[in-house]
Amino acid sequence: MKQEKGEAVAEVTEAQIAVHWKEEEYVYPSAKFIGQANAADPAILERFKEENYPECFKEYADLLTWDKYWHTTLDAGNPPFWKWFVGGKLNACCNCVDRHLAANKNKAAFIWVPEPEDEPHWTITYQELYRKVNELAALLTKFAGVKTGDRVTFHLPMVPALPISMLACARLGVIHSEVYGGFSGKACADRIVDSGSRVLIAIDGYYRNGRLIDHKAVVDEAVEEAKRQGIDVEKVLIWRRFPGRYVSKAPMVEGRDYFLDDLLKDYRGVKVDPVSMPAEAPLFLMYTSGTTAVPKGCQHSTGGYLAYVAGTSKYIQDIHPEDTYWCFADIGWITGHSYIVYGPLAVAATSVMYEGVPTYPDAGRPWRIAEQLDVNIFHTAPTTIRMLRKAGPDEPKKYHYHFKHMTTVGEPIEPEVWRWYHEVVGKGEAAIVDTWWQTENGGFLCSTIPALQPMKPGSAGLGMPGIYPVIYDEDRNELKAGEGRAGNICIKYPWPGSFQTIWGSPERYIAIYYEKYCKDKNSRDWRDWPYLSGDAAVQAADGYYRILGRVDDVINVAGHRLGTKELESAALTTEEVAEAAVVPVVDELRGRVPDMYISLKPGLAAGKAIEEKVKQNIVKMVGPIARPRNVYIVPDMPKTRSGKIMRRVIAAISNFADIGDVTTLANPEVVETIRKMVQGDEVKPSQEVPDEIKKFGAGD
């Protein structure tokens, strides 16, 4: 990792930051919003003060129903493997479903909106969800033979089958591992193998941008690839998008593939007791990209995770029983796990799920859904906001919906885009939270508390209650608020939502997240173990944090984390390719897009066919979201004298930024050749780019 080499100090002067975004004025929430907010009393800030840490988190744990109450809030005896609410036992499914039946059995848990506009919505009440989850849990034990502690992988898109499958596993104490539906068979296989899953739950097809995608074909690739890697998936359980009607062309494999809608008929009305799990038992794995080609399985706990997402759903998402809450994210990512499924259901909300893309069949679609369902809390990512703004800047005005609250998550949001979100989407009425966090974290780390702290466009805000961020420079100095320097944002103490380890790689967990700023490796005091996020940030004088982007080798494409090594190793599977280097390019809609540079094996001639092949291999191995914008076949990569590829130089070329001094390179002449290839003969004035791009790959 580049941080470990001490070269990549994310230092930016105030002036440089100002080139991108200046410090904005506060925007205040309305009196109406404040009047109804769950966290309107500043006493919450007192309760979560540093001196009350870690006991303050009892408040979140008390939102849950415990089979056995816990005795120790935080056991830090084996850092950095934190244990929360030790001694406690609970079941996550019971907390999200069963316990709501008494008062809310006829309330909608989910309202599922299919992409085709003429297909009816499916409103799933808590009672119906309870039935479905029990039946599937029964089938999983009796038919598929899964037991508490086993892993089950899902490769599912945005259909109700996904939360039903998650909750059925949670009911049994089975660890689920959902792989984003848009990922390739290969990416799914890698995750099946890493988690050691013997059962895969998937679907035959789903709608995306007006097309019925044949998903079962991808599932078959996953199972075949897993087999090549030595893991035999014994049972592939297939939901059907239209029960009773198979929409895929891929044949069902006898003795391996089964239709769930058929099998479930045998389990009608069967109930399964929820398994009472220790608070620190793993609930699920969520894989994320990092600095190596192997994705990391972030292991999340049952008690700590659920308490944290319940607390933040209540206070930061401001969900009340009568609200209709729509998080427009994919459950295949952490945002969907925490803030479509577990958080909202823990607080008995009505959570809207939408199958398709934002602009299908036109850019008015999200606002028609909001109008029809009377959605009043809306949650999405900057990339979606930018897309909707570009495709239909005036669309929201045409629809009669009113949001009281909106969230942005996943990438920095440009103040200009923030303003459109506030004024046009939110009609100037909604309080906005810009929530900064990561797959590893379980729930929000920084945000404003919507009724208590004003919004500032482009800033995430302060640490959440009980979360104490700190920015360190490379020399371990703590940077002060308003100092105007950027550094590595860390979290001083553990929190209940934090992941427990990387599945199967505890040493990577320590090395990647804790080693850099650990004050004393022998210490058992949590104060000595700050968590390294891998993001650069700057703190304004008022304490608000502005996140500047990743400082490691991760490219954030439309809110999805892609590891450079993953993309490069996919490119290298093309037999003609000798070397590959990928860099992020600033993109108006998607935040960043990848540009892939390759050099060929000796004697081969460049050509469109090879470029196309590289693109296809990346799509095949990672997924369509990773498709490079361009593939450039270069005569040689710019390299240091020790032979390392200078990604920073090609990143500058792709972004039309200042290339800087290249005289120390082993082959400086190649830089101009590449520049002309990408930018044309004429030298254009250089563009200002974010620091992350200026320093890209500096640690290689």
Binding site for ligand WTA (CB under 6 A): 288, 333-335, 409-412, 434-439, 460, 534-535, 547, 549-550, 556, 561
Q: Would you say 74 or 471 has its CB closer to ligand WTA?
A: 471
Least spacing, CB of residue 249 vs ligand WTA, in Å: 32
Question: Crossing angle for the helix pair 126-142 and 161-172, nearest 10 degrees?
Answer: 60
Least spacing, CB of residue 441 vs ligand WTA, in Å: 8
- 125 neighbors 105 (Cβ within 8 angstroms): yes
Least spacing, CB of residue 692 vs ligand WTA, in Å: 9
Residue closest to ligand WTA when measured from CB atoms: 439
- 338 neighbors 442 (Cβ within 8 angstroms): yes
d(CA 564, CA 584): 9
d(CA 619, CA 617): 5
d(CA 242, CA 9): 53
Three-point CA angle 409, 159, 184, nearest 5°: 75
Q: Does the bond joining 465 to the residue before it have cis omega, within 30 degrees of 0?
A: no
Q: Would you say 241 or 561 has its CB closer to ligand WTA?
A: 561
- List the structure tokens of 657: 């930024």
Q: Would you say 356 or 563 has its CB closer to ligand WTA?
A: 563
Q: Would you say 131 or 422 has its CB closer to ligand WTA?
A: 422
Q: Would you say 296 or 404 has its CB closer to ligand WTA?
A: 296
Least spacing, CB of residue 462 vs ligand WTA, in Å: 13
Q: Would you say 535 or 566 has its CB closer to ligand WTA?
A: 535
Least spacing, CB of residue 597 vs ligand WTA, in Å: 23
d(CA 94, CA 67): 10
Q: Would you say 150 or 434 has its CB closer to ligand WTA?
A: 434
Least spacing, CB of residue 298 vs ligand WTA, in Å: 8
> With 0-12 CB in 10 A as exposed, 13-18 as middle and 19+ as buried, what is 134?
buried
Least spacing, CB of residue 297 vs ligand WTA, in Å: 13
Q: Would you say 17 or 649 has its CB closer to ligand WTA?
A: 17
d(CA 158, CA 156): 7
Q: Would you say 302 or 439 has its CB closer to ligand WTA?
A: 439
d(CA 249, CA 603): 41
Q: Would you say 278 or 332 has its CB closer to ligand WTA?
A: 332
Q: What are the b/e assignments for 90-102, b being 16+ CB within 10 Å?
A: bbbbbbbbbbbee
Q: Nearest CA to 504 among 232, 194, 83?
A: 194
Least spacing, CB of residue 413 vs ligand WTA, in Å: 7
d(CA 434, CA 437): 10
Q: Would you say 406 or 460 has its CB closer to ligand WTA?
A: 460
- 537 neighbors 487 (Cβ within 8 angstroms): yes
- List the structure tokens of 639: 């390299």
Q: What is the DSSP string of 280-299?
A: TSEEEEEEE--SSSSPEEEE
Q: Nearest CA to 346 among 312, 300, 299, 301?
A: 312
d(CA 548, CA 411): 9
Least spacing, CB of residue 143 vs ligand WTA, in Å: 34
Least spacing, CB of residue 433 vs ligand WTA, in Å: 9
Q: What is the Cα gyration radius of the chain?
A: 25
- Most distant CA atoms of the chain, gap in Å: 74
Q: What is the DSSP string of 661-674?
A: --TTSS-THHHHHH
Least spacing, CB of residue 461 vs ligand WTA, in Å: 9
